[in-house]
Amino acid sequence: MMEKMFEVQDPVNHDTQTLQVNIGPQHPSTHGVFRMNVVLDGETVVSLKPVMGYLHRNHEQIAENISYTASMPYTDRLDYFNSMSNNFAWALAVEKLANLDVPERAQYIRVIMAELTRLVNHVSVIGFLLNDLGAFFTPVLYAFREREKILDIFEEVSGARMMCNFLRFGGIKRDLPAGTLERIKEVIQNFPKFLDEFETLLTKNEILCMRCQNVGVLPAELAVNASITGPMLRASGVNYDVRKADKYSIYDRFDFKIPLGQTGDVYDRYYCRVLEMRESLKILQQALRDIPVTGEIISKKMAPFVKAPRNFKPPVGEAYGRVEAPKGELGFYVVSDGTPQPWRYHVRAPSLINLTILEDLCIGHKVADAIVILGSIDIVLGEVDH
Amino acid sequence: MIFGTGIIKGMLVTLKAFLASYFKGPHEGGIFTVEYPEKRLAEKERFRNFPFLLYDQTPENLRCVACDICAKECPPKCIYIVRDFDKEGRPLKRPAIFDIDFTVCMNCGICEEACPFDAIFMDHEFEIAGPDRQNKMLYHRDDLLKSNEYFNKIRPTDAGAIDARRREAEEKKKAAAAQAVKAKTTQPQPEPPKT
């Protein structure tokens, strides 16, 4: 009897069946309302189907029924961690459409805000990745401590911590209040210290290395074919950053590098983000050094439309504006028919497109690794289900 | 091969943070969160929550003229305005109904930006939770009214700039009117046509 109990079975031929499990939609590790339909063989993932749409709210259709400026607060709600980048992309698209110039000071403020957003996003995504790994709340709270300081700046500047609604076509909504630049400088000065501390905590941590290295490897070729963008693509070693490739706004004036990974595993994605934050700090320092002390904040052509957004009718045509959002290439495609509403409005959401690769990354790994891989993709469901 | 040095170093970081939370000030790495209902953070001047309607001196004297611009510009269309009429059916420059549905409003501040009469502004009030969605969260005209003094208190720079601008415009208007009156009186009367 005992002998039979401890009989070692042939792992391949023993009589088991696969098990279908739904992870989510109400699961803390899915970062929102997202469901993974996983087929498991033991603990190994055999197939994984992402089920999205729980947060679908007709974003594109709404934007086609309201004025161009009125879409701006809606773009905040796409990727609610990075509302400034979302505003930036939408503003660029319309500026391309209507052929608008942006004054110098506004350009710098935009870049400063976009890079602060990148810090916010990367620092909190690393925190949440560690949460998914099982390091509950210590890293994420350290990350949130720093994020809080930047969100305070956003509140001071735009009035809201997350739903900033700060950029306008041809400029920004309001000039910075007095003393904000000094506070930004202070935050930036202290940030490298925090990053060093954060890295001491994490980068060489053996458990983190074991859990992340060679997990969810994304080959460069597959990444390109699946049109993955952002830190995920760069972690696979592909040198593509819209800030360098497109040189939108004033990014050609700054000296910064694009950190690249080698293997494209979860660890590379983590480390790429850390390095990207350091590069962002460089950009911020340069921008704060060069920003004009005073100047216009909105172009003369657009100033009358601030009071009357519905009178703004861009010429007939189409445009695609894109930025390197913290999650990847965020683009807005807009077609105008000369009316106050866009005729077609389309969002190229990086979270959604990066998520399509999830099954390829997860097959063959354990369930616990699938959670970590999802965390390393860095999705925000507001953007996935726009 | 695991030696665990990375983990030990990491633990030292957490130990440092733990000690800092007790012995250091909020800006030197200690705790800077506050215990909310008892203590509060200073409000940022630009902080925006739900909108309110502004009146000068008395609540009857509200600035809103029911032009409907904010209702048209509002992205989620949460403002509903009906113009007031006098007894003879002539339209008055004030709203009879001005409702804002706070369950729909998304605090974007576009109404404030678009208002040509400086009548609607974003408030700092955020403790408005109530047990009833239908009656508590649909704000009518009288619930929304707030005085200019209140606006000056919560947003001194903005209010100061707007008041200065309005005063200037009024003075200009007065001067123009006075000039027009003066011009009228001093204008030589045209001679009656000779018959």
Query: Do the chains contact at B13 and A197, CB–CB below 8 Å?
Result: yes
Torsion of CA B166, B168, B169, B170, to 10 degrees: 80
B17 in a structural domain: no
8-state DSSP, B85 = E
Contacts of B2 in chain A (CB under 8 A): 206, 210
Q: Look at residue B43 and tell me if it is in a domain.
A: no
How close A69 comes to chain B (CA, Å)? 9
Question: Residue A339 corresponds to which tokens in the numbers above?
Answer: 């009316």
Exposure pattern of A244-254 as b/e (b: 16+ CB <10 Å)?
eebebbebeeb
Residue B49 has pLDDT above 60, yes or no: yes
A74–B73 C-beta distance less than 8 A: no
Is B101 strand, coil or helix?
Answer: strand
Chain A interface disruption, residue of B27, B46, B115, most A CBs within 10 A: B46
Domain count, chain B: 1
Domain that holds residue B140: 51-172
Residue B132: inside a domain, yes or no? yes
Per the prediction, chain B carries an average pLDDT of: 84
Shortest Cα distance, chain B CAs vs residue A191, angstroms = 12
B73 part of a folded domain: yes
B4/A307 Cβ within 8 A: no
CATH label of the domain that carries residue B68: 3.30.70.3270
- Is residue B149 over pLDDT 70? yes
Residue A333: the pLDDT is 92
Q: Residue A263, exposed/middle/buried by CB under 10 A (0-12, 13-18, 19+)?
A: middle
What distance in Å separates residue B66's CA from the closest CA in chain A? 16
Dihedral Cα A156, A157, A159, A162, nearest 10 deg: -100
Tokens read off for B38: 């008892």
Task: For A309-326, give the secondary structure using H, E and C.
Answer: HHHCCCCCEEEEEEEEEC
At residue B195 the predicted structure's pLDDT band, cuts being 50, 70 and 90, is low
What is the predicted pLDDT for the residue at B194?
Answer: 65
Calculate the alpha carbon distances from B52 to A160, B118, B175 in Å. Answer: 17, 11, 32
pTM of the model: 0.86
Interface probe with A: pick from B28, B49, B73, B126, most Cβ of A within 10 Å = B73
Say yes or no for a CB contact (<8 Å) between A73 and B75.
yes
pLDDT along chain A (386 residues), means of 10: 49 71 78 84 86 86 88 88 89 89 89 90 88 83 87 89 87 86 89 87 82 86 89 89 86 88 88 90 90 84 80 88 89 89 89 88 86 86 83
The CA-atom distances, in angstroms, between A55 and each of A78, A165, B72 are: 11, 21, 27
Domain assignment present for B89 = yes
Is B125 domain-assigned?
Answer: yes
**Torsion angle, CA of A355/A357/A359/A362, rounded to 10 degrees?**
-100
pLDDT tens digits for B126-144? 888 878 887 788 888 888 8
The answer, yes or no, to whether residue B191 has pLDDT greater than 70, is: no
Is B165 within the bounds of a domain?
yes
The verdict on residue B195 lying in a domain is no
Is B75 in contact with A70 (Cβ distance < 8 A)? yes
Q: Report the pLDDT value the prediction gives residue A2, as an integer from 0 to 100.
A: 46
pLDDT of residue B190: 62
pLDDT band at B63 (very low <50, low <70, confident <90, very high): confident
From CA A56, how far away is CA A78, in angstroms rounded?
Answer: 11
Whether the CB-CB separation of A67 and A60 falls below 8 Å is answered with no
